[in-house]
A and B are shown apart, each in its own frame.
Chain A
């Protein structure tokens, strides 16, 4: 038997080689996907690790027992042994010990912690020296941060006490890189506080004080410390172990740790979850490209080998004639084809790995290795075995045909149900896939390859139409005497084997267009989302002492308003509330980036949210504030219910309520309030009469307001009676239940009347230095129409109402839901301090030193985001990586399609040339000799276009573009046609060129055989 198989292989060398090459192609295609997924998975893990917060990178175990003495190296303690036992392989352990307490120096004290942490000396620069171990009799050595040294008033070599234990300063340290996970974020290096003048040194006075080993102290109880161990994950760990493994390891450590009584905590699971999610999305996304590649390879094999399969017909018939059992025939067929297929597996592995390596090098953000593992080999085997199955499928019809059919010189045409079964299967699969995809939720399984399935089904159907139409048109042309055209059409349309080839080319064109279109839409979507989510080219998150500090600092750094804008962003405390964006509005149009999805122009917003103020602010300067009030109410009726005076002032340090010590009594009196923050300058927000129970009408006259210093110096009149009496200056905080009036003449004053009632909120008057209700621009999603009022949480977190001055589809930074107000007006209306994130929005043209300018104004720069950076982040996530793979697969598919066309032509060559030579001998003119391959190429172009539109409409909603699946900006419906054509035109040109060359080859061959 083997002799026969060997003889057959030798006789049909060319076909065996074709099968080998195409099986290698299929195998490589199948192997490339898992290799790429593995490599990209590594890159994704690295990317997530680089973006993770310090708490997500480590798991902490803490000793429950406290030990006396200066914190030292726990390496030889039972705690360390237990940690070593619990630590899973690959985790890096950093041991430490710490103790909290008060450090007292010459110039001041600070609450800090005394810390031993292994490896700290390598991560700092020290003025002086790192602390060394000391023995009995010597003072323990420590090193302190720059700010701590300044606060305590110590230098290198000085002493201070920690928890009443004297220690010696061996060195003053500065961390080399405060963002290193070693520092665990803010645990050891506290973030700096904003202040009137800034500094560039990292850290604050509360930074940790580091020690080395010290001898036991005389007083056992002076310092008690607790040992800690931080177990860090590393990038290498993600390379070598799966996420499920790591999750299990973390669970085990946490469980065993708590069983041993070790406390601790971690956010490691959220990092692991993110990595697992990204990897899962990558694998899902890549399924489309991998499925396409493998399908194309199998189709090409089916097409290429189909013609050559007929060579085996006579042999089959002969063997059946001799009574050889069909079992043996199958064995011979499988044997002949399995040998190339088996050889294809290792070659395919190599090919796939090479392709994946090249692709990974070009597309992955981080370096990643491509290696062989069981999955890759398994997939390569599937690819090769599928190829084998495709070849056997071409033979299947033959292997089960009756003997008589096989012995006929020309094979009978397949009729009836057998001819359409392939179509039926393809259409059913496609329908199932599309339905599954459109039924919503995260696509999985068949739904992931819905575009390919749809393209194949549509391609087969259109190919069938082509064959029928081509046959009809060709026949008509021949009858009409147009021999050249008719022959060209009929050669293809009446050869059933061209149908899968046409379908193949259609799928290639359609999937190329589809993947290009998806990539295009993704690019646009990333750009749009980055613009809307960030808001301005650069957004710097800062710390300021107050909103007015922020405003003033940014205005000082950029007086002309050309490149910087102060912004406060708040979320909303209740789920139904509206997020808020407060901006320094005259810079909005200059700094924020416009976008068509906003549905409004930034210039309009500027105008609407900053109308002219109804009045000027009231400024105060002085540490004491005196308000002269004449109150008239029946003290007896009031009984014990107090009436008090409170004033809200806003300074550079925030907004605060100051209450006068004395209660308000009937009669005229001056009430004094302590406002130390107004020493420099502050602004009056409102004056409240705080009377929870108003037993009977209460009338308060405001007659005078003065500021001054403690020692009575610098008395300044802020508001006279007449100024008080200007009602336009004031706004009632409770306009429904309290009344405002003014008198004139000699006792000119402002009269506030509070009717009897129980009051939950104080009655008072606010300075009308900002319009109320504040005009805002609102998103359509809130439902409040233009001109209506909308309740929201103000920039200080207190609920208030706004007047809708404009409606937008979307707002910068907030997306589809939110409202934008003017920051200065909002600050003037605010009655409480900080709430929300403070940001400075910058244009791309901001000067290089802009951050230093901001720091010079006392702002603390915390972090920075750019539109470009966010957009690049989207490009690094799993969906983008998968899209790139799919694009590569579609491009490779183009080559496979061309190979299929060539293989088909090679198989048809002999028969075609013979036929044309015979016709030439009967008088056919030479110019009528055509290859006829133009028809498949032309049909592929047209069908491909149609099919692209169909699958685009049906399946594009199921393509994942973002890792979190959301975008505040609607995705473009259609891609940029120009870019689309840029990819598809060369493909069609390639097919056309191939067709032309193949036609020339046929014509040349015919010429040679016809002697002319």
Chain B
């Protein structure tokens, strides 16, 4: 369970993008975050994912404060960034494989899960193509496949349908 309590967050020395935000993410629920561009949606997701340290307030996971992204990864908080966050020089399958293995899945099992997830998203034919050679839509689906394959406790998806 992910909790944000009176969090203010900003980039560098710039003024805070979000002020005094409190959010509770309950298990098994889908939370949609909408707002106009520049409102701070991505900032909020980044703070939840552990990429941004809050200036005020705290972000807690299962009761414990969130330290950084690696801590968030340990707590299985999966992030699908707005720009997809894929490695262009790896194939679609390798992007998933690397993330799965880093998450502790055994390599043969990771291969199986990768193939299954890519198939699910209609990317079976693109699995061995370098990401940089895929179309924008295919890249987006690859990022989503990775996010889903990681089977995190919390999945944060930033503008995945645009």
In addition to A919-B99, A1011-B68, A1012-B69, 5 A-B residue pairs with Cβ atoms within 8 Å of each other are A921-B49, A921-B69, A922-B73, A924-B102, A1012-B70
- Chain A's interface size range is 20 to 34
A-B interface pairs (CB < 8 A), number: 81
Q: Are B98 and A921 in contact (CB under 8 A)?
A: no
Chain B residue with minimal CB distance to A911? B88
CA–CA, A479 to B53, complex, Å?
Answer: 34
Q: B90 — which chain A residues lie within 8 A by C-beta?
A: 478, 490
A801: interface (CB < 8 Å)? no
Nearest-neighbour CB distance to chain A for B42, whole angstroms, equals 13
Q: B132 — which chain A residues lie within 8 A by C-beta?
A: 410
B81: interface (CB < 8 Å)? yes
Q: Are B99 and A923 in contact (CB under 8 A)?
A: yes
Q: Are A921 and B79 in contact (CB under 8 A)?
A: yes
Q: B103 — which chain A residues lie within 8 A by C-beta?
A: 923
A375: interface (CB < 8 Å)? no
Q: How many residues of B contact A (CB 8 A)?
A: 32
Q: Are B69 and A1010 in contact (CB under 8 A)?
A: yes
Q: A119 — which chain B residues lie within 8 A by C-beta?
A: none
A selection of 27 A-B contacts at a CB cut-off of 8 Å is: A412-B133, A479-B94, A480-B107, A483-B101, A491-B89, A494-B130, A911-B88, A915-B87, A915-B88, A918-B85, A920-B70, A921-B81, A922-B73, A922-B79, A922-B98, A922-B99, A922-B102, A922-B150, A923-B70, A924-B98, A924-B102, A925-B102, A926-B70, A1010-B70, A1011-B68, A1012-B68, A1012-B69
CA–CA, A481 to B100, complex, Å?
Answer: 9
A428: interface (CB < 8 Å)? no
Q: B94 — which chain A residues lie within 8 A by C-beta?
A: 475, 478-479, 490
A487: interface (CB < 8 Å)? yes
CA–CA, A445 to B87, complex, Å?
Answer: 48
B124: interface (CB < 8 Å)? no
Chain B residue with minimal CB distance to A924? B102
Contact pattern, B 83-122, Cβ under 8 Å of A = 1, otherwise 0: 0011111110010011101110011001100000000000
Q: Are A918 and B87 in contact (CB under 8 A)?
A: yes
Q: Are A479 and B99 in contact (CB under 8 A)?
A: no
Q: B99 — which chain A residues lie within 8 A by C-beta?
A: 919, 922-924
Chain B residue with minimal CB distance to A411? B132
Nearest-neighbour CB distance to chain B for A486, whole angstroms, equals 8
Contact pattern, A 456-488, Cβ under 8 Å of B = 1, otherwise 0: 000000000000000000010011110100010
Q: A495 — which chain B residues lie within 8 A by C-beta?
A: 89
Which of the residues B79, B87, B110 comes within 8 Å of A919, measured between beta carbons?
Answer: B87
Interface set, chain A 171-223, CB cutoff 8 A to B? none
A413: interface (CB < 8 Å)? yes
Q: A926 — which chain B residues lie within 8 A by C-beta?
A: 70
CA–CA, A915 to B91, complex, Å?
Answer: 13
Nearest-neighbour CB distance to chain A for B154, whole angstroms, equals 14
CA–CA, A925 to B101, complex, Å?
Answer: 10
Interface set, chain A 896-955, CB cutoff 8 A to B? 911, 915, 918-926, 928
Chain A residue with minimal CB distance to B104? A923
Nearest-neighbour CB distance to chain B for A908, whole angstroms, equals 11
Q: A918 — which chain B residues lie within 8 A by C-beta?
A: 81, 85-87
Q: A922 — which chain B residues lie within 8 A by C-beta?
A: 73, 79, 85, 98-99, 102, 146, 150
Nearest-neighbour CB distance to chain A for B158, whole angstroms, equals 12
Q: B51 — which chain A residues lie within 8 A by C-beta?
A: 921, 1011
CA–CA, A758 to B25, complex, Å?
Answer: 136
CA–CA, A526 to B88, complex, Å?
Answer: 57
Q: Are B98 and A483 in contact (CB under 8 A)?
A: yes
Q: B69 — which chain A residues lie within 8 A by C-beta?
A: 920-921, 1010-1012
Contact pattern, B 8-44, Cβ under 8 Å of A = 1, otherwise 0: 0000000000000000000000000000000000000
The 10 tightest CB contacts between A and B, nearest first, are A481-B107, A923-B102, A918-B85, A923-B73, A481-B101, A410-B132, A922-B99, A915-B87, A494-B89, A478-B94
CA–CA, A495 to B88, complex, Å?
Answer: 11
Q: A915 — which chain B residues lie within 8 A by C-beta?
A: 87-89
Chain B residue with minimal CB distance to A409? B136
